Structure 1
Amino acid sequence: MGAKSLNNLGRQRAAVPTVIGRCKVYGDPIRTGDDTVWLTDPMGLSHRECKAKADELAQMKGGA
């Protein structure tokens, strides 16, 4: 077997999604492909999960 017939058998890195910003609710990095929403207060991009958690906490505080 010649060197040209061998595939790259070395360790290869998995592609890491690019960070496109920070979550306005909790400050976590937002990566390409994440489920996001645009907020008006605070203005900016946030994870959909973070927004749901923040809304739930606000309801608990307001309702108690």
Structure 2
Amino acid sequence: MSARSLPNLARQRVVVPAVIGRCKLDGDPIRTGEATVWLTDPMGLSHVECKQRADAATGGGA
């Protein structure tokens, strides 16, 4: 068996997207490429999922 036919069993590095900030609702890191929304209260960037979860918990919308 030649070296070309053997699979590469070495640990492969996975590129993790850069952190661009922290979610104002949960405090989790926001990475590039994630769906975000700008909030006015509290002022700042948040995940869309966190905003939807907060709206559902308070019964609010829009």
Provide the TM-score with structure 2 as the length reference: 0.76
- Normalized per residue, the structure richer in helix is 1
Deviations 1:12-62 (A, max 9, x none): 3111100110000111100000000000000000000000000000018xx
Query: What is the alpha-carbon distance in structure 1 between the residues aligned to residue 41 and residue 24 of structure 2?
Result: 9
Q: Tell me, in whole angstroms, the C-alpha distance in 1 between the residues paired with 2:11 and 2:42.
A: 43
Gap regions ≥5 residues in structure 1: 1-8
Q: For 2:13, what is the secondary structure of its paired residue?
A: coil
* Structure 2 unaligned blocks of 5 or more: 1-7
Aligned length: 52
Name the % identity.
Answer: 67
Which of the two has higher C-alpha Rg? 1
Runs of 4+ residues over 3 Å off in structure 1: 9-12
SS at match of 2:59: helix
Measure the CA separation in 2 of the matches of 1:47 and 1:26: 9
1:58 alignment counterpart: 58
